[in-house]
Structure 1
Amino acid sequence: MTVFADDGRHRVAVLVRAGLLPIEVGIVHRLFGQARAGGRPLYEVLTCALEPGVVRTDADFSVNVEHGLGALAEAGTVIVASSDEDYGPQPGGPLRGPLADAFDALPPGTRVASICSGAFVLAAAGLLDGRPATTHWQSADDLRTLYPRVRVDPNVLYTESGNVLTSAGVASGIDLCLHMIRRDHGAAVANEVARGTIVAPHREGGQAQYIARPVPEPAVSSTGAARAWALENLHRPLTLRQLAARESMSVRTFTRRFREEAGISPGQWLTQQRIERARQLLEETDLPIDRVAEDAGFGSAGSLRQHLQAALGVSPSGYRYTFRGSRAVDQDHSSAAGAGLPR
């Protein structure tokens, strides 16, 4: 068995079941299908079902699926989409029958992910035992009750634990796919895919998946202008007072509005954006590490190293090596040594 297509593309298998949500399957095909490097497609996406043939959707049409469960064992990534049947009474317990056999046959190291209530399948397969996981907030209590060994977090967009990932509702499936593309091929490829589909290039998994706001706020209370200004000035020291002033708000009001709209605090958001800027510079340029730290707003190579290690578990040089090879890392080390910077 091989996890690559004949032309070397990483193979992604999307598992669908009766009552599938077409938009979720379309998300996977559209996002992974657009990922390219030098004009070359990076992924092959296959749709598979319990048996090849016509599969009912939750809409007024069906889809004809050409591949059966055997496609799962031939994929490097398996993504389980949700089904409208997941929202009824849940039987709980382990997977049984052909689907259980298919998951048992997955090669070690296969990346497995779920969109929305597809997490119930991963839980039934035992893949989520002891791991953090999420699903649509409306189904989180059911997942927790039926599978108590799963560490359910209903308040995040997606989770990642080793090679097992889960996401919340439909929109967070977009975030999850972009996250996997970014993990595989870097921010530049993922950002290009995001631009092609007119979606936000990156939302951290820890952001809130559901924020109740029954009455729309007037435009004057939005914090969007402050966020846009901050993105243009990440290289500068930015204070909460400066951001609040961009919206003519008090610090207290701005902080509350920001958390309501972004799901995280202004400080957390700034750190995330600076990490993303640093990742982009590490991937796309040969700038020395201290210059990357300065341009991303971390001030020093040591600060950048600390934040990148906390977020991704890797040093700046190690991250650059993944995407640009040993030559760039050698340049980083030479620059750090010449400037008296820690490596």
Structure 2
Amino acid sequence: MRQVGLILEDGFQLMGLAALAAFELANAELGTEGYQLTVLSERGGTVRSSMNAGIETQPMGVLPDTLMVAGELLPQDVSPGVRDYIARAGSEARRVAGVCTGAFALAQAGLLDGRAATTHWAHARTLQARFPKVRVDEDRIFIRDGNIWTSAGMSSAIDLTLALLEDDHGPALSRAIARKLVVYHRRPGGQSQFSTMLELEPRSDRVRRALAYARENLRNPLSVEELAEASSLSPRQFSRVFREETGRSPAKAVEMLRLEAARIMLEDSRHPLDIIARDTGFADRDRMRRAFLRSYGQPPATLKRQLKLMEDNGGQ
């Protein structure tokens, strides 16, 4: 039986507990207590979340097999006792994981020096500035570097835990738990934290409707006239409103949606580049290649190899 400990500090986010929920479901799926789950704090007792919900914890003691550190809305300095406990876990525990801003606690303990790591994109640059020895990658769902794991925003606690379960028991168990959690099978660690739809942030329902139409019909030419019809506006009015609300032309927004869809397909190595170009509306590999070079600075074939390598290494 493997022991999993999750460290909480006052102000932790409740979503971080989703990591333990995935392990709990794994026990049910395995039909045995494969994991003993413990919620920890420096002295034990009640720890309160950012919503003031109280969780009972055990005092830190013997190191578990896997130590996880939950994140907070804003990263805080941990106490010397917590810092030393995490530092010791780096050499004595099998795995140490920082969920969201929990990466800051791992960095304070020196576990991220010289390692690749990620955290919530809103705090990634702060992490890099405070801890220059860390190789921060703000555009990853999670990263594994040796026995140290870090993840992005709080929902990525599920992706991280599914990857930990896969590391222990293989992909079949991970897929089974993903189904029980009613989520897609875990996102690869190399997948971007960012969403084109969120980045564009249109204000009106008409522009949102046009973007949703575009995302669902990427094989179409998606001319201004076609998108304007989907939004029930004239082409001239649509172009003006679209740029006002998104700061981009319709053509640029469509290319962003195509690139996002193509990158997601690249994460599945079964898709040949010709098929990806066709299904995402680029028409041919050369047009898709030029778009990737403009946005990512490298062709899709190179990015595909890198994503495959990161996936083989557990998300690094």
Scaled by the length of structure 2, the TM-score of the pair is 0.68
Are 1:162 and 2:146 matched, yes or no?
A: yes
**2:16 matched to which residue of 1?**
24
Are 1:34 and 2:52 matched, yes or no?
A: no
Give the letter aligned to residue 30 of structure 1: A
- Distance, in Å, in 2 between the alignment partners of 1:310 and 1:137 is 19
Q: Which runs of 5+ in 2 are unaligned?
A: 203-207, 224-251, 273-306
**1:111 matched to which residue of 2?**
95
- Distance, in Å, in 2 between the alignment partners of 1:49 and 1:185 is 28
Alpha-carbon deviations, 1:262-305, whole Å to 9, x = none? 5x62651341779xxxxxxxxxxxxxxxxxxxxxxxxxxxxxxx
Aligned ranges for residues 125-136 of structure 1 at < 5 Å? 125-136=109-120
- Distance, in Å, in 2 between the alignment partners of 1:130 and 1:208 is 22
What fraction of aligned residue pairs are identical, expressed as a percent? 29
CA RMSD of aligned residues (A): 3.1
Shift of residue 149, structure 1, vs aligned partner: 0.2
Secondary structure at the aligned position of 1:170 is classed as coil
Counterpart selection for 1:195 from 179, 186, 190:
179
Counterpart selection for 2:52 from 52, 60, 66:
60
The ranges of structure 1 where at least 4 consecutive aligned residues each deviate by more than 3 angstroms after the TM superposition are 216-219, 247-250, 252-256, 307-311
- Distance, in Å, in 1 between the alignment partners of 2:209 and 2:269 is 26
Give the letter aligned to residue 46 of structure 1: T
**2:292 matched to which residue of 1?**
none
Are 1:100 and 2:83 matched, yes or no?
A: yes
Give the letter aligned to residue 65 of structure 2: G
**1:173 matched to which residue of 2?**
157
Scaled by the length of structure 1, the TM-score of the pair is 0.63
Shift of residue 58, structure 1, vs aligned partner: 0.5
- Distance, in Å, in 1 between the alignment partners of 2:61 and 2:79 is 16
**1:258 matched to which residue of 2?**
258
The alignment covers a number of residue pairs equal to 243
**1:77 matched to which residue of 2?**
66
- Distance, in Å, in 1 between the alignment partners of 2:271 and 2:59 is 41
Shift of residue 209, structure 1, vs aligned partner: 0.8
Aligned in 2, Cα 1:14/1:152: closer, same or farther, shift over 3 Å? same
Q: Which runs of 5+ in 1 are unaligned?
A: 1-8, 226-243, 275-306, 315-343
- Distance, in Å, in 2 between the alignment partners of 1:116 and 1:308 is 24
Shift of residue 104, structure 1, vs aligned partner: 4.0
Shift of residue 61, structure 1, vs aligned partner: 2.5
* 8 Å contact from structure 1 (residues 144, 152) kept in 2: yes
Aligned in 2, Cα 1:248/1:62: closer, same or farther, shift over 3 Å? same
- Distance, in Å, in 1 between the alignment partners of 2:137 and 2:21 is 27
* 8 Å contact from structure 1 (residues 34, 41) kept in 2: no
**1:312 matched to which residue of 2?**
312
* 8 Å contact from structure 2 (residues 269, 308) kept in 1: no
- Distance, in Å, in 1 between the alignment partners of 2:88 and 2:310 is 34
Secondary structure at the aligned position of 1:79 is classed as strand
* 8 Å contact from structure 1 (residues 158, 172) kept in 2: yes
Give the letter aligned to residue 271 of structure 1: S
**2:131 matched to which residue of 1?**
147
